[in-house]
Amino acid sequence: QQNAADKLDQVLAEIPRVRKDLGFIPLVTPTSQIVGTQAVLNVLTGERYKTIAKETAGILKGEYGHTPVPVNAALQARVLDGGAPVTCRPADLLKPELAELEADVRRQAQEKGITLAGNAIDDVL
């Protein structure tokens, strides 16, 4: 779509460089797509990391967990912009939502006169 098929060899050469910058992250979904996308952006813009994909920034911030080796420190500092990387298990930073969602579903069901299966089972038992 970019009429850039002639740049394929450059992209293929850029992939291992991006992977190195991202701490030799394993090339499995979704990180393989992140590395490939960033390599394409680097080649198409003509400047390495002129444009940094949101997902690439996420890896550099530690949002995908620890990488096998440290990421490129200068690139990480640029993305963090004075902030700190995630050093704990990233999922531990998520706000618990299940109880709030369950309460919302129960409220909506009651407003609409719907008996939820869990409530029906409790009534039978």
Residues 60 and 107 reside in one and the same domain: no
Token pair for residue 75? 């690139």
Residues 49 and 35 reside in one and the same domain: yes
Question: What tens digit of pLDDT does each residue of 13-72 get?
Answer: 999 999 999 999 999 999 999 999 999 999 999 999 999 999 999 999 999 999 999 999
Number of separate domains in the chain: 2
Residues 58 and 30 reside in one and the same domain: yes
Q: Would you place residue 125 in the very low, low, confident or very high pLDDT band (cuts 50, 70, 90)?
A: low
Residues 59 and 101 reside in one and the same domain: no
Residues 99 and 83 reside in one and the same domain: no
d(CA 18, CA 45): 15
Angle at 4 between CA 19 and CA 7, to 5 degrees: 50
Print the domain residue range for 20.
5-90
Residues 119 and 68 reside in one and the same domain: no
Alpha helices in the chain (DSSP H): 8-21, 31-45, 54-61, 73-80, 98-112, 117-124
